[in-house]
């Protein structure tokens, strides 16, 4: 049986968090808060900092839900909310309490196992890149651009299909696969590219200096099938793809067919 896993939810104060991030040099030109949240959660909780996490903003207004002005932070943790709050009360900088919304930190236990062949809906924000070695170290490249390089300029390349294939590969390493259904052209995966942009994110280089790296930011949703329950549970806790500690890779599960 897998270790316990908890899903956490907080309502951070975006202006306060952005002000804290700007003071420490963590805020990018486009307002991306991934590195700032990574740093703030680490400062508040130390080695217990929850990750992966996902910050939701600009959500559509629905009955019973938060408004578009209220960001929501979700995260996975091996520790329950009460343990994290105890750690934060003892050691966190008071300047982080309100920006992280810790007065309203809530949590729930996740299932410890998932049945083989079970189907689940999902949504995930990912950075679909591959690392490549270079003389001065490593860097990353959008898998869509890699696919474009492999064909002539006249051949169309579908970004959603490329990202779906990449995501299926990531799932395959973690005990799951995309559900496939019959279509006119044969088989297609139950996966959608719901949002895409290119964004600059902050990372530390080998010398620990902060640098800003531009790359893909994709939100994908669809249906998956669990092929191996134990690796899948571990993959859920670990996250999908790269930059899992910076706001990418948190797999949010939904009822199948939603």
Q: How far apart are the first and last CA of the chain?
A: 28
| pLDDT tops 60 at residue 101 | yes
pLDDT-based confidence at residue 78 (cuts at 50, 70, 90): very high
- Convert the pLDDT of each residue in 87-100 to its tens digit: 999 999 999 999 99
Per-residue pLDDT at 137 = 52
CATH-assigned architecture of domain 119-254: 2-Layer Sandwich (3.30)
pLDDT at 149: 93
The residue among 11, 213, 22, 50 whose CA lies nearest residue 131 is: 213
Mean pLDDT across the chain: 88
Helices (H), 77-158: 81-91, 143-149
- For the chain, domain boundaries: 6-109, 119-254
Residue 210 has pLDDT above 90, yes or no: no
Q: Quick check: 202 and 210 in contact, CB under 8 A?
A: yes
For the stretch 43-55, pLDDT in tens is: 999 999 999 999 9
Report the percent of the chain where pLDDT is more than 70: 89
Q: What's the rounded mean pLDDT across residues 34-47?
A: 95
* Position 258 pLDDT exceeds 80: no
Would you state the pLDDT for residue 212?
A: 82
- Is residue 42 over pLDDT 80? yes
What pLDDT is attached to residue 66? 45
Write down the pLDDT at residue 105.
96
pLDDT tens digits for 163-199?
999 999 999 999 999 998 876 666 677 899 999 999 8
Query: In this prediction, what percent of the chain has a pLDDT beyond 90?
Result: 69
pLDDT at residue 103 above 70? Answer: yes
**pLDDT at position 138:** 57
pLDDT of residue 41 exceeding 50, the answer is: yes
Place 257 in a pLDDT band, splitting at 50, 70 and 90.
low
Rounded to whole angstroms, the Cα distance separating 74 from 72 reads 7
* Model confidence at 57: pLDDT above 50: yes
- pLDDT over 50 at 60, yes or no: no
7 bridge partner residues = 76, 108
Buried b (16+ CB within 10 A) or exposed e, 219-253: ebbbbbbbbbbebbbebbbebbbbbbbbbbbbbbb
User: pLDDT by residue (tens digit) across 121-167?
Assistant: 999 999 999 987 665 555 889 999 999 999 998 999 999 999 999 99
């Amino acid at each position: 049986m897998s270790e316990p896993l908890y899903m956490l939810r907080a309502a951070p104060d975006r202006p306060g968090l952005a002000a804290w991030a700007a003071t420490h040099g963590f805020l990018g030109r486009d307002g991306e808060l991934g590195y700032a949240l990574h740093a703030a959660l680490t400062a508040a909780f130390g080695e217990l900092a929850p990750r992966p996490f996902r910050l939701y903003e600009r959500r559509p207004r629905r009955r019973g839900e938060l408004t578009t002005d209220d960001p929501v932070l979700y995260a996975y943790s091996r520790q329950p909310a009460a343990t994290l709050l105890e750690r934060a009360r003892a050691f966190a900088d008071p300047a982080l309490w309100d920006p992280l919304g810790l007065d309203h930190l809530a949590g729930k236990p996740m299932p410890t196992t998932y049945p083989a062949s079970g189907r689940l809906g999902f949504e995930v924000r990912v950075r679909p890149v591959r690392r490549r070695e270079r003389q001065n170290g490593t860097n990353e490249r959008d898998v869509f651009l890699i696919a474009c390089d492999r064909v002539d300029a006249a051949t169309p390349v579908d970004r959603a299909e490329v990202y779906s294939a990449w995501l299926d590969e990531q799932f395959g390493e973690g005990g799951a696969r995309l559900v496939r259904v019959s279509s006119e052209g044969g088989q297609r995966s139950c996966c959608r590219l719901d949002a895409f942009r290119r964004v600059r994110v902050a990372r530390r280089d080998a010398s620990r200096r902060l640098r800003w790296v531009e790359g893909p930011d994709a939100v994908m949703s669809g249906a998956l099938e669990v092929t191996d329950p134990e690796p899948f549970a571990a993959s859920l806790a670990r996250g999908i793809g790269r930059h899992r500690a910076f706001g990418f890779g948190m797999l949010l599960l939904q009822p199948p067919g939603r």
